[in-house]
Amino acid sequence: MNNIPVAIVTGASRGLGAAVACWLGQAGAAVTLIARSEAKLNQTGNDVRRLGGETLVCRADVSHYDACRKAVDKTLDRFGRIDALVNNAGIVQPISAIVRTDPDDWRYNIEVNLIGPFNLIRAAAAALNRQKGRIVNVSSGAANLALESISAYCTGKAALNHFTRILAVEEPGLTALTVRPGVVDTDMQTFIRQEGPRAMPADQADYYRQLKDRGQLEPALIPARSIAWLALYAPHEFSGRYLDYDDDRISKPALAVFGERFSN
């Protein structure tokens, strides 16, 4: 096990996180899978093992520090080290104007999208430093946009970008970065298409519908391939940066390492 890279991936039960875990499995990594749905995590685990990886399933809500700490402890007990952390878990809800949003819903969004990465980083930092490890925080283009009715999501992702810059300064032995995964064909986009028309301006809601209708949503495996490459190979010069998944410095070597699709 000493020569096998060990990664933690949050939000690994579906979509982008599950695809990241599968790419890592195809590379022969050991992957701790974290999400709230154990049944779906077990399915991801089966896929990762089929592709050649090892897995540890940890059902946890990343907004709770103790749950994150226990997942880190279990990872170290099972695999002995942590080389990479991919903070992918995220939620877009509430979709609502600020003045009509339930305060608890707004707070929980921040707890998942911003405090969740903090919790995992805080819990895993010592182990990551021993390996000169990598942290990939999955951000969003929404971090740089003022989008109506998804204020918590935009705010949390903007804060995550700056948090990562500070982390890179404080922990120079680590490589910590944020990545924009593009607009991905996942359950989050389905939720936006369903709920957006109730709260968003009509043109904004229509934009999300047209992305699907025109086939402009990216399949999860494409940005996931870039994220997996960053988790294993991101050069230290990337630390502190906010990068695009389709940046040639990332997408081209990721394609060269992993190939077009999963091996089986």
Indicate the residue type of 110. I
- How far is residue 59 from each of residues 70, 91, 158, measured CA to CA in Å? 10, 17, 27
User: 139, 140, 149, 239: which is the annotated catalytic residue?
Assistant: 139
DSSP annotation of 183 reads S
User: 96, 149, 151, 157: which is the annotated catalytic residue?
Assistant: 157
140 is catalytic: no
- Residue 15 CB-half CA count within 13 A: 21
- Residue 244 CB-half CA count within 13 A: 9
User: 153, 208, 242, 245: which is the annotated catalytic residue?
Assistant: 153
157 is catalytic: yes
C-alpha span between 206 and 27 (Å, rounded)? 39
C-alpha span between 198 and 95 (Å, rounded)? 9
Provide the annotated active-site residues: 139, 153, 157
